[in-house]
Amino acid sequence: MKLNEGFLNSMHDAMTLLRTRGVAEATEAIQRALRGDIGTPNNSARRENGPVSADFAPANVSETAARGAREDCIDVEDRGYFGTHAYANAAGRRQYRLYVPAGAVGEPLPLLVMLHGCTQDADDFAAGTQMNALADRHRFLVAYPVQPPQANPSKCWNWFKPDDQQRDRGEPSLIAGITREIISTHSVDPTRVYVAGMSAGGAMAAIMIAEYPELYAAAGVHSGLPAGCAHDLPSALAAMKGGKRPRGARHTPENERLSPKRPVIVFHGDADATVNIANATRLLHGFAARPDDPSEGHRIYQGRRACTVCRLHSADSIDAELWTIHGAGHAWAGGNAGGSYTDPAGPDASAEMLRFFLDHPRRG
């Protein structure tokens, strides 16, 4: 029985390696399993990195007690370590994956929190965005909070529910708690902490930068929606189709006219049939073009798609960028085909987000 369980776990690890690393690594894992070199369950890809704990804190434990309920499962990804952890507070519990580049000892590094879209998970999102490879190259940590099907059947972040749109409540409190936990347990530069997401994850990233401007220096929203644009599922569907803000949505037009507090970079395909591109301009309400920028609204080509790039700023001199990707649908621009909802033909959204983030540490 143990042998069968170990063999099945080795096959699971091999499939993960096939998706995230490549054919050679997956084949090696399968060959190890066939030789009987199975090791402990769920550990064939992590044998050299210590024991695996499968224990989680219950959802009703206190936040202090929950800090000891993190998992320590670790994979080798590129040259760094991709570990699995868990965080819990009064709002519930979420797993998250954390990528730490090799040699990250003592040096304060930036942290990027990546929020996946519907039907995705951390491994899928990491494979599609290739953010871990950028983390190795440019030296930063990447966290991937995971939305389980128990919280949403499609694994969407619940950006349209009032309790999940507010500071210190619901899912925002869990994502902020994960962020703070990583800052407290790793060497992180607190002025260079960022949040980004795709689709439902992009909508949640917009909520996070609005509700926690003291925690995140900037945000990246890909194919997402503005904070507070819906209050239930019907209004969420209306917002996704580009409809006006419905009555009962949390933020009022008076709130919208306030200048944004942190820089934001937005990517959206103008052929997106899932989330209408009107949401991209609504995300940047309060920003305007720089009158002295001759490149404002210029059309460029990156990859095989044309893009219109607008560099904007607010009345408080907060920077923003809007990348309109012509002919692109609902997919991460420049993403790797190893992940879902990616468009390899587009511009490199991951690299452009990172460039924007590193140019905008938190000030004030």
110 Cβ contact partners less than 8 Å away, ≥ 6 residues apart: 139, 140, 141, 188, 189, 192, 193, 194, 357, 358
53 flagged as catalytic: no
CA–CA gap between residue 160 and residue 188 (Å, rounded): 31
Place of tokens 């103008």: 270
The residue from 44, 199, 340, 350 that is catalytic is 199
336 Cβ contact partners less than 8 Å away, ≥ 6 residues apart: 127, 128, 129, 130, 342, 344
Can you list the alpha helix ranges (DSSP code H) found in the chain? 2-20, 23-34, 63-66, 122-129, 131-138, 170-185, 200-211, 233-240, 253-256, 278-283, 349-358
Nearest to 311 by CA among 346, 282, 287, 347: 287
CB atoms within 10 A of CB 50: 12
Active site positions, annotated? 199
